[in-house]
Amino acid sequence: MGEARDYQRLEFLGDRVLGLAIAEWLHEQSEAAEGKLSQRLNVLVSRETCADVARKLGVAGHIRLGKQARGDGAGQSDNVLGDVMEALIGALFLERGFDAARSFVRKAWEPAMAGGAGQRKHPKAALQEWAAGNRRKPPVYTLLERSGPDHAAVFTVQVEVAGVGSEQATGSSKQEAERGAAAAFMARYG
């Protein structure tokens, strides 16, 4: 079977290459201010977007997982798919250089870029602004439950704005669950 391998170093490198490729692309495509560019960048390089791209490319079928991880659904986890996508970009950068990595990113991320990913406010930022604008205390996020194994964890989070109400959501990361709870809150009360 050979030596054990770990993709985390490639993931670290791929994350930076992806960030640079997307930042350069946004700079070319838009005259927006730095804050708007940063907002889009953060969404386009997020774990969720990386996982979505990996799903569209069929990456899950090529990931080597142990029996337990397969049984737990790790191959469809945003965490696993996002990390593997970043590792693939890192490997492409090392093997073929930045031009090839940039070309791949532009092709694979084209639907997200064209679809305007990140042009709307992040749900947590929107909720924070809504609370302040309505003279309410800031939203409070509470982790209600964490279940499942580390590679396929499920988080349940509640967000509450005192005197208004609360909403819950689940996700494959605490941040994803918080984002979902904020979006659900805004849909109901915003």
Report the distance separating Cα 77 and Cα 188, nearest Å: 28
pLDDT tens-digit map of 15-67: 999 999 999 999 999 888 887 888 889 889 998 899 999 999 999 888 887 77
pLDDT in tens, 97-122: 999 999 999 999 999 888 776 666 67
**Closest C-alpha to 178, from 144, 150, 149, 148:** 144
> How far apart are alpha carbons 121 and 56 in whole angstroms?
25
pLDDT in tens, 63-107: 887 777 676 766 678 888 999 999 999 999 999 999 999 999 999
Q: Considering 15, 52, 83, 176, which one is annotated as catalytic? A: 15
Q: Which domains does the chain have, with CATH numbers?
A: 8-114 (1.10.1520.10), 123-189 (3.30.160.20)
Whether 24 is a known active-site residue: answer: no
Strand intervals (E) in 48-152: 140-147
Residue 102 has a pLDDT of 98
Neighbours of 55 (CB within 10 A): 14
**Catalytic residue list contains 86:** yes
User: Which residue among the candidates 86, 167, 176, 178 is catalytic per the annotation?
Assistant: 86
User: Is pLDDT above 70 for 153?
Assistant: yes
Rounded to an integer, what distance in angstroms lies between the CA atom of residue 15 and that of residue 60?
19
Q: What is the mean pLDDT of residues 149-160?
A: 90
